[in-house]
Structure 1
Amino acid sequence: LEHFVSILHKCFDSPWTTRALSETVAEQSVRPLKLSKSKTLLSTSGGSADIDASKQSLPYPQPGLESPGIESPTSSVLDKKEGEQAKAIFEKVKRFRLHVEQRDIIYRVYLKQIIVKVILFVLIITYVPYFLSYITLEIDCSIDVQAFTGYKRYQCVYSLAEIFKVLASFYVILVMLYGLTSSYSLWWMLRSSLKQYSFEALREKSNYSDIPDVKNDFAFILHLADQYDPLYSKRFSIFLSEVSENKLKQINLNNEWTVERLKSKLVKNSQDKVELHLFMLNGLPDNVFELTEMEVLSLELIPEV
């Protein structure tokens, strides 16, 4: 659990998470704007020329219409250090999910602990009030000193009785609060399907439709995180998406292979043409398309292109 909390905080504070969520918000705000614009323009008699002009006047770039030099305000590129940190978080999340999702040990241990706590609460709340009634200020004492005092029975005063009563009553109140909390936890665990966690609502609202549903201990831990703040699970889900991971890989690749580095790889081939040869990369850097002097592109062992 401590390991999960540390990963959760890293996911929450990661610049990659903020970038992914801001992209989603920006695209959601663009969609209704495009629809309203298109409806207005189609209702007029301007024709195709008006439609083309209106697309250029939109405050956000449209897919397939952007010029190469224009970027959306949310497409700020991470620096190399932030990209490596996000990549490390992806690896940690993968290992954690592989280890935790296969079993339900945490769920069963947590459930048994709650049951034991509720049983202890019932026992304490039963016997403490019963014995509390026996704590009295005045006590009848029977002492065999009649030969000296002429009396055998005395009425004694227990001076600490009131203090013990107050302390015991305060203890009962604390136990009741503890018991109510334990009872609520038990009720929550029994009424909810805590071994299944679905990101369906998030998939519908975000660009990452490949976020998988999780199960067993992994699902239970996410349900616990939701009880604290549902935003943690939303930010954590970004690191479960392969689409998000591929975007990050592309950004890291672009940071590694700058235009200057690609230009240094340009050579003249046997046909006297400027050739760029790339070998065993995890993708194709976007900066390749900035090399106007390149005539031949040779790719070797790059299956993800």
Structure 2
Amino acid sequence: MFSLSELASLSERQGSSKLLKPWWEVFMEYLVVLMLMVSVLSGTLLLSRDRVVCLPLDLTTTSTNQNTSSSSGAVPQPHPPNRPPTKASPLPANPWTPARGRRTHLDYQQYVYISQVCYHEALPWYSRFFPYVALLQSLVLLASSCFWFHFPLTSARIEHFLTILAKCCESPWTSRVLSHAAREEEGGEETGPQDLQMPPPTHRSSLSVSRNRQISLDSGTDSPLLVRSDSASTAAPPSPCPSTLSRTSSLSSMSLSRAHVPTSKSPVVLDGSRRVANLDRSDGEQARALFERVRRFRSHCENSEVIYKVYLAQTVFKLLLVVLIVAYTTPLISSISFTHTCLPQAHALTGYSAFECTHALASVLHKLLLAYVSLLGLFGLLSIYTLSWILHSSLRQYSFNKLRELGSMRDVPDLCNDMAFLLHMADQYDPLLAQRLSVFLSPVSETRLLEESLERRWGAERLRSMTTVDPEGRPLLQLVALPRLPPALFTLSQLVVLKLELITDAKLPAQVANMTSLRELHLYHCTAAMQPGALVVLQERLETLHLTFTQAAEIPGWVYSLRGLQELHLSGRLGCEGGVGRGWALGSLRQLRHLRVLVLRGMLQRVP
């Protein structure tokens, strides 16, 4: 007996595998099911109603038997021998008149015996075993159709891919990124002088515009319009992989409440500039784990072509099997007939050597066999189409050109080998599945997630609570071992001293202009990059810079362009072989016109 949990897991596995079944695979499965029904129906008829009825054909043996029986006096002749048979006297109408016809003088058991013997000797083998052969062939075709889902080298990767795809569809981060991409596309199309000159809309028009905007903001996951019952005509169809996120419903209600308030601008601009609520901490951690999981699975699948080769071999096997079955089944169709001549060699038991037999199910089996061959023909045509699709399509390369043309995700890399093949198969089911997976293949999407997690964990309140005072009484903040700088850092306008230590991506954006009091910067083993806007601000405000490094080549080039710098402290290995000594000799510090203090700590052969 099977438990309910085992049956539930089996149904879930079969449901998830549908994502990798194109339309021809589904069609072939239905054809195989019809073949199984034909074979089962034929077998049921053979087991319940199959029989053969036989009658003797040997006339000479019959006349001999009649003469023998008349000589023994067992049966009298119907016409006396002294009267001509043509002039029969009229007999009175008698209901007990004996039956007329050729007498065989065979017992019922002899008929049963002859029927059983002739069933095995006169009938062709395909008339007796067609249902069982058809059932076996249908089971082989069914097993070969889903072989790549159960083969040990491919089943684990397919299940892993389906699990990742389901998590990508259900992740709240997917809805965030796709909604953001939709707003960017629509914002680029709708910006213009006409939007600024539009008069304030009425209540009804603003409500309809905000609803239309919600349709475009939704990217296939839980649409906010599905919550409202008054807009059923404009609701988008649900996605095959619905998201469990329900925050968009609250956002839609916010947009509707805003639409009731008359404003001086277009509601489209307000809705486009509206930001989506931040993710929870658990959702952010799950999204980061999913990014890492997708990265590892991609590197694992792009190194092999096992799934592609197994599916190709499976398709070739099905095509060859169908050709073989049709080749030996077609000539056997004519062997199924209603009448058969049987020579059982039972003259000593019955007195006859030839019998005429009829097969009761011959016509039904003939029609079922024609239907079976027709289904096999359709199956073979679909196999030919599948093989041509595999050979004429570059299934080992997958490109996100459509997403690049839309401009939503231009940084998604191309895929190859098994990863590309799985996405091609998923595209045949729903092209939106690849779009959801591309969210976790985009480096920009991962960077945005890290920035939001940093903003959530390192908010302005936490940074203010970490701010201390140095011996000179100035506000000081020290950040250690962060992946990048939190955006809330650039809102601290009272901060004077900033110390950054062991930060791999310490990028200073143009928002550093908001730090109006910043005068001193410490970089301890940080790879610091700077945008042009931030460099202009630091050239005017920064007075003291402390750099600690391992090699002189780690000194960023923007240090030599800080015109307002007054103190420069360098700690690390300073050698002429690293290029710094030669650079200083050529006058790299000439632009530091206000430099008053230069401190060098490290191995230095000579002062440049």
One-letter amino acid of the structure 1 residue matched with residue 365 of structure 2? F
State which of 341, 346, 353 in structure 2 corresponds to 1:140. Answer: 341
| 1:37 Cα deviation after fit | 4.0
Aligned-residue sequence identity (percent) comes to: 42
| Residue aligned with 2:341, SS | strand
Structure 2 stretches lacking a partner, 5+ long? 1-157, 199-263, 507-608
One-letter amino acid of the structure 2 residue matched with residue 195 of structure 1? R
| Residue aligned with 1:240, SS | coil
Moved more, 11-20 or 149-158: 149-158
Deviations 1:161-209 (A, max 9, x none): 3443344334324323332322221111111111111112212313422
One-letter amino acid of the structure 1 residue matched with residue 316 of structure 2? I
| Residue aligned with 2:439, SS | helix
The equivalent of 1:52 in structure 2 is none
CA distance in 2, matches of 1:218, 1:149: 74
The equivalent of 1:213 in structure 2 is 414
The equivalent of 1:273 in structure 2 is 474
| Residue aligned with 1:208, SS | coil
State which of 69, 72, 78 in structure 1 corresponds to 2:273. Answer: 72
CA distance in 2, matches of 1:60, 1:263: 36
**Residues 298/58 of structure 1: CA separation in 2 closer, same or farther (3 Å cut):** farther
The equivalent of 1:111 in structure 2 is 312
CA distance in 2, matches of 1:130, 1:36: 78
Deviations 1:235-272 (A, max 9, x none): 11111111111001111112222333323312112221
**Residues 158/269 of structure 1: CA separation in 2 closer, same or farther (3 Å cut):** same
The equivalent of 1:227 in structure 2 is 428
Q: CA RMSD in A?
A: 2.6
**Residues 102/177 of structure 1: CA separation in 2 closer, same or farther (3 Å cut):** same
CA distance in 1, matches of 2:307, 2:412: 23
**For 1:154-233, what aligned pairs fall within 5 Å after superposition?**
154-233=355-434
Question: Is the contact made by 1:16 and 1:86 (CA closer than 8 Å) also made in structure 2?
Answer: yes
State which of 94, 102, 119 in structure 1 corresponds to 2:303. Answer: 102
| 1:137 Cα deviation after fit | 2.2
Question: Is the contact made by 1:26 and 1:74 (CA closer than 8 Å) also made in structure 2?
Answer: no
CA distance in 1, matches of 2:297, 2:404: 22
| Residue aligned with 2:183, SS | helix
Q: Which has the higher contact order (CA 8 A, sep 6+)?
A: 1
| 1:157 Cα deviation after fit | 1.9
Number of residue pairs matched?
Answer: 284
**Residues 36/136 of structure 1: CA separation in 2 closer, same or farther (3 Å cut):** farther
Deviations 1:17-36 (A, max 9, x none): 11111111111111122245
The equivalent of 2:177 in structure 1 is 20
One-letter amino acid of the structure 2 residue matched with residue 26 of structure 1? R
CA distance in 2, matches of 1:188, 1:132: 33
CA distance in 2, matches of 1:262, 1:154: 105
| TM-score normalized with structure 2 length | 0.44
| TM-score normalized with structure 1 length | 0.84
Deviations 1:73-123 (A, max 9, x none): 244321111111111111111001101112222212211111111111111
Deviations 1:148-167 (A, max 9, x none): 54421111122343443344
CA distance in 2, matches of 1:149, 1:110: 60
Question: Is the contact made by 2:341 and 2:356 (CA closer than 8 Å) also made in structure 1?
Answer: yes
State which of 329, 339, 354 in structure 2 corresponds to 1:153. Answer: 354
Deviations 1:36-86 (A, max 9, x none): 549989xxxxxxxxxxxxxx9565779xxxxxxx99324432111111111
Structure with greater helix share of residues: 1
One-letter amino acid of the structure 1 residue matched with residue 274 of structure 2? P
CA distance in 2, matches of 1:252, 1:167: 66
CA distance in 1, matches of 2:186, 2:446: 24
**For 1:4-83, what aligned pairs fall within 5 Å after superposition?**
4-37=161-194, 57=265, 72-83=273-284
CA distance in 2, matches of 1:156, 1:196: 64
- Radius of gyration: which is bigger? 2
CA distance in 2, matches of 1:289, 1:79: 23
**For 1:240-279, what aligned pairs fall within 5 Å after superposition?**
240-279=441-480
| 1:227 Cα deviation after fit | 0.8
Deviations 1:265-303 (A, max 9, x none): 121122212222110001111222344543332211112
State which of 503, 509, 516 in structure 2 corresponds to 1:302. Answer: 503
